[in-house]
Chain A
């Protein structure tokens, strides 16, 4: 079973920041928080990952709470092309370790 819980769906206005929450209360000390997204009928796309510090890249920012039991993915200026299912996954940083996919959050960006 997935170790994360996410809201099933969210709406966001185009141009606004989209904040996607994720709970991972049973996360272990050596597990990272990963975010992927899947646009309809495409393979998943890596977004960002982090251990305990906040992270930012060209796509998004990741805010992890101090106790590491939850995190928030922030898309600073959402566009219509950001409409997708967003998955929050916790995993050990090992190339052979499988990813456990939950149901994700369906993010709909509205014009």
Chain B
């Protein structure tokens, strides 16, 4: 299957700082990328859907000004958690789908563990 990477795999930051997480499709062009958040012992919760070159669509209850998503190219999407607080500590996962990557399938990154002190 197609490969999706995330960077960093884990990050620890101070409260009030911003953190950027990268999601890359390594061997296919991702026309759509999804960002999920997962709290301990819970299932994945979709935060937003982004299509290359257009603004992301956020799920209800997700603050678009706090979680900035940029999908400027067909292989890269970034999620920036602005002014992070301890309650933002979570496991963030991206997935990608698009031409050459199995078409209709979503391929998942390994996740990024964010800890806000």
Contacts and interface: CB of A to CB of B under 8 A. Distances in A.
Interface in A40-66: 41-46
Given A93-B104, A95-B103, A99-B106, A41 B91 contact: yes
Interface residues of B, number: 27
A102 interface: yes
Nearest to B45: A101
A30 interface: no
B43 A95 contact: no
B85 interface: no
Contacts of B91: 41
Contact of A43 (B31, B105, B110): B110
Interface string B85-117: 000000101010110000111111111010000
Interface residues of A, number: 19
Interface of A: 36, 38, 41-46, 87, 93-96, 98-99, 101-104
Interface of B: 1, 4, 6, 31-32, 34, 43-46, 49, 51, 91, 93, 95, 97-98, 103-111, 113
Given A42-B111, A43-B4, 18 more contacts: A38-B44, A41-B113, A43-B6, A43-B95, A43-B108, A43-B110, A45-B108, A87-B43, A95-B97, A95-B103, A95-B106, A96-B32, A96-B97, A98-B34, A98-B46, A99-B44, A101-B44, A104-B43
